Structure 1
Amino acid sequence: MDPFRRAQIILLCDLCKTAHLQSHCERCDINLCQTCVGKHLSDSSIRHKVVLYKYRKSLNYSTCPDHADELCKNYCEKCDLPVCSTCVSSSKHEGHDISDILEKLCSKTESLQKDLDELETRIYPRYEEMASDVQTEKVELETNYGELTTIADQQGEILHREITAIVNQRKSDIQEMKIKHLSTLNKNTDEITQKMAELKQIMSDLKSILKSNDVSLTSTYKSRTSEFRTLPPKVRVTVPSLSAQKINKDQLNEMFGSLSPLSINTEHGDTIKSAEAVSSPPVKPLLDEPRVTATIDTGYKNTFFGRLSVSCLSEDQVWTCGDNETMKLLNLQSKLLTSIQTKSGRRPGGIAVTRDGDLVYTDPRERTINLLKNKQIQTVITQQGWYPLSVCSTASDDLLVIMDSDDVKQSKVVRYSGSTEKQSIQFDDQGRPLYKSGPNIKYLSENKNLDICVADNKARAVVVVNQSGKLRFRYTGHPSNTKQSFDPYGITTDSQSHILTADYNNDRIHILDQDGQFFRYIHCDLRRPWGLCVDIRDNLFVAELHTAKVKKIQYL
């Protein structure tokens, strides 16, 4: 008989003492036969962990420092250390709460695993994102400062030899600022990199502890996770501008133009919420029962084949657009304050109110974005090969426009400063499209943390990217959807960085936090909610397509 089979005959179940063992409970450190496993698991007060005997983990009990021939299989809660059975019965631990070392090990192991999960999935990725943002700014630094140098050269060519000395001085100033700028960013990168290195070491140590199952190491582990929840300060450096003046030989130095000071501001790092704090109440808590405080009759047709959008001008005035070419400014009493027809006489694609209180609307058929200012419509952007769908005004007074290509095979978000395109967002890091192409309804909004949030109806998703256009997350609905699949249309954000999106087929609004975690629904007897906006006091306006009405809802 081979030695292995002889060993199997010798090893018997620790409960019945007769049958051959097959399994091992790592929680209770006991060997079990097939019959006794069920009996052992019947005690539901203990979280058993039964595995096949050959896959069991051997526990490394520490030797008692006071009794060298005994192992520490107990744990003194008051003294916070492992103890042997002799120590337990001694006067040294009299009256202390004593627990089983395996139970303590299980608890500590869960805590270690929790720390590792948070560091790997929540904290370290944010450090990576910060490092990537700084690297992007460093790449753009050369372009920005190159543009400044070019401006200086152009001015020098106009003024010829008379201002050669001034040109050289300005270029020297630019170079000095560039060096300071780069030095500041390098220092910020070093700080972040150092923290990342510490995080990697901690995560490596945690994995080693978890893998070793060493009671001593596990017991003495002290968590540093809270220390890293507060992110390092983020440095923001404003690139100087060079203002040019008309030539005046008597005042060449002033006329050439001066550089604005290099502005370096260090913002306090954000603190990442712990897993427990994700669902904690915000500064303005959500109401248990949201309530409708006003209902506005828009006068549009209540059709299932139209659209109904809304954008807040103030707490009691909203712009609306619906099934025709007329855009209406209404108050809470449904009184028509202003109405304006689109320049082309066609239905607008989307509307938004700028920080100055002007109305912006898109005209998909004409491929234009238009501004209503002092009751006059002016076309500020005309597209070639793309037609604009929805528009929103940002905190920096830029315009974000989501658009589809003429062949409806591509979609993208474009940022405009005035009529100048500043940014185009279309693909993720792997080159895959961020947004679903084809005939599709999409709305977008900018969050307080400058994330760009898109309700992509055809994809049945809310797609959120950061300010640089890097994908942060996709939200595809909550598991409690039992009526119909998630059907997003309108989208808006509030002062708490909540993301709110209209779930058309399910007659409700989803409220998410800035990281895509679901908070709750708003119902309020909504009937086919479509357009959304939030005023400065965080009142929600919901445009219902079925009733052609706008409901004002208090939810905070």
Structure 2
Amino acid sequence: MSAVNAGSQYFPGPKQDMDVVRCDGCSNQVDIYCRSCDAKFCGECAGKHLTSYLSKVHDIVPYAERYVKPIAPRCTCQEKMECIMFCQMCNCPICGKCLLGPHQQHAVSDLSEICESQRQIIQKETCYLESSFRETLTKLMCELQEKKNKVPQQYDPLLKKIQHHGKKWHEVVDCVISRHIDDVDKIKQRHLSSIDDTIVTLKGLLVRTENVLTDNLRILKNNKAEEILKYERGLGEFKKIPEYTEFEIPQFTLRPVKVEDIFTKFGFLTPEPKNQDRNVFVPAEVKQTFETIKSGFPSDNLVACVSKEEVWITGKDKIMKRFDSQNTLLETVDTLTGNWPCDVCLTKHGDLLYSDWNDRSVNLVNGGKIKRIVALDGWKPSGICPSCVGELLVCMQSHNEHESKVVRFSKSVVIQEIQYDSNGKPLYSSGGYTMFIAENRNLDVCVSDFRARQVIVVSKWGKLRFKYDGKISSERAFSPYATDTDKMSRIFIVDSGSRCIHVIDADGHFLAFIPACGNIEPLGLSMKDGVMFVGSGNSDIVNCMKYNNYI
């Protein structure tokens, strides 16, 4: 193999090498290449270059052989020495002098062989990036660009359908308004006609009254016996004023306009679900891998996920602990009152929140300091969760434990209470059991009600959407505890009775089961970025596992 071909297999020269390459010092054709200075010269200019920089060591090679072997670096210990070997122990190139000195007992390799090996790796990876990966990326980008260009057209029929339906609604509303206006106009006309008829009657009676008065005054003025004797008494029609039918202005009774009612009656979007053939999970077919954290709490392990690698854990203890997934304890915080937390969650800023049943409060942990942010009067909090817009949702029961409700707070101010359905019946059970709560991306409020053995889901406005009773799972009674949701608005529910986690969609349709893993009775649940932390109710175990492969 020629020197030129040998060099080209390692580092194909740029395109201009196919043409005549000119000297850096003049316009003549290049003959010589100085690897030390990365400069190319003709024979005449090469001599000038060497004599101009006598203090520097020049590595001169024929221009065609400039890539045959790598340009060796200068030794860090011996500045004028060129490195020829590579010290494997120190992971650095060395010169011959260093080989006999500080690196004498070290394992070394020929520098050119190491470079050759690395060149082959670079060459292979470069070929992959150029021929395969870049082509795939380019093709995918083109396909996505084509899809992007088609998206507006694909949505046009949907938007036109909604707009057309909206026009029909406007027509119906306009028709209803027109009918009401017509009815009012008819009543008004009857009212005016009644007044006009009465006025006509009164005018006629007034004319007759004037005539009678004129005659009577004439008789009295003339005082003739003949006319006086002929007078006949006749005040019959003048003794009673004609009756007038009073009309009351009709009142219009307004019905309140509720946005949720409009949404319900107007219509709704139903995206086509994908991968429906994977709706049912079969535990025997999947080998689940998970990591275990030993919390030190013998039971009732509740969890609040900080990230894929960290989690807050609480139990029947005044201490709250933060662990990483490798079972390393990172931080501990004592509750403000010494009571154990009823539930825990994280704010959107990453601060820890916990509810205190006995203290009737919700508290914020920030930088190791605790601040009471909600103090309840006559009610005791249990499940808590932040809303998508930074509000706080709290499940609570009355002091006598006869009533339950969900309250939405904004900066400690109550802005909504959810307690009854449209028929005035309680949505949630009572009796002192902890209820857990989560909010969907579609702003539905999902409450896990253990005593009712149901998960009750209501809209943002508190209207009941559905109830999930878990009867599809097994013969065991559905025992729902902690619940959480993901970015697809799927709802995950811990079922302690069946020792698994139910997955349902945003409309309450069953999707899958996920085993709790290990010999634990699951209780707590918190998820983030495809990682799920499951706390045990009967041991000090918290499992950390991925869940995306299940659904």
TM-score, normalising length: structure 2: 0.50
* TM-score (normalised: structure 1): 0.49
Larger radius of gyration: 2
